Amino acid sequence: PLLQELLDQGIYGCGTVPLGLPGVPVDFWEAGVLEEPGSFRQCQRGSLLATRWRDSKEMCCLSTNAQPGLSDTVWRKGRAVGGQLCPVARPQPFQLHQENMRGVDICNQLLDCNPLGQGGAYDRWWRSFFWFFLNLCVVNSFIVLRESRKDSPPAWLPSRRFSQAQYRQRLARQLLRRSYGERGGAEPGHRMTKISSRPKRCRNCGRKGLRHESVFGCAACDANLCKGPACFNEYHGYRAP
């Protein structure tokens, strides 16, 4: 295993792995399902320790920086006692993993959100690489935006909270605009028209703390906008021509 090779170079580590991982003794997986939260089972070979632990679901962790049999206590909401907090034993490998996991785990979490190119079988290996690196570029650009504009979020973000879904939608609109060779217009389906009988607050001005009302807006987005190109273009992420 990779952890064993790293240990041979004097590098300790730990990380979660899928249940049923090949290379781990079969009887370790066949020892039975862990039913109660806090129950765990461990198997050790040299300095490499495999741990199964039941939290809200069963998980497995491989580690070279933990000792078997040691655990601490964490608090979880219990179902049988009306949602009150209950103590749950947590083995040391998961303690070290949860207290020190950062970049790679966060990146994997972001990659799992609204990925591109998923849901189909790939007949060429390079297709998987292409979609992986494309999603990775999107995630990295989102992280750069979030860190560089942490104190002054862009006006197009709802409630000024960074959302990868909103970022991906804006990015898609910009790419569509470029593919159609447009500078100020919208992609097909988005146009300014009268969408309500009574004036409602402009969605774009509301994001900036301004109060303007209009009966016009984008029919595709179902958003009232000030009559004129300024709010329409800014709301959809387009530059003025």
Q: What is the pLDDT of residue 148?
A: 87
- Give pTM, 2 decimals: 0.48
Instruction: With beta carbons less than 8 A apart as the criterion, state whether 72 and 98 touch.
Output: no
Measured CA angle at 166 (ends 114, 130), to 5 deg: 40
Give residue for tokens 């709301």.
Answer: 235
The DSSP H or E segment spanning 92 is: helix 92-100
10-residue mean pLDDT profile of the chain (241 residues): values are: 88 89 87 88 92 91 93 82 80 90 74 74 74 90 87 74 84 72 55 88 87 89 85 72 38
Q: What is the pLDDT of residue 236?
A: 78
Tell me the C-alpha to C-alpha distance, in Å, between residue 235 and each of 1, 18, 26: 50, 43, 56
Measured CA angle at 108 (ends 22, 18), to 5 deg: 20
Instruction: With beta carbons less than 8 A apart as the criterion, state whether 237 and 204 touch.
Output: no
> Which two tokens mark 121?
């079988």
What is the rounded distance in angstroms from the CA atom of residue 172 to the CA atom of residue 177?
A: 9
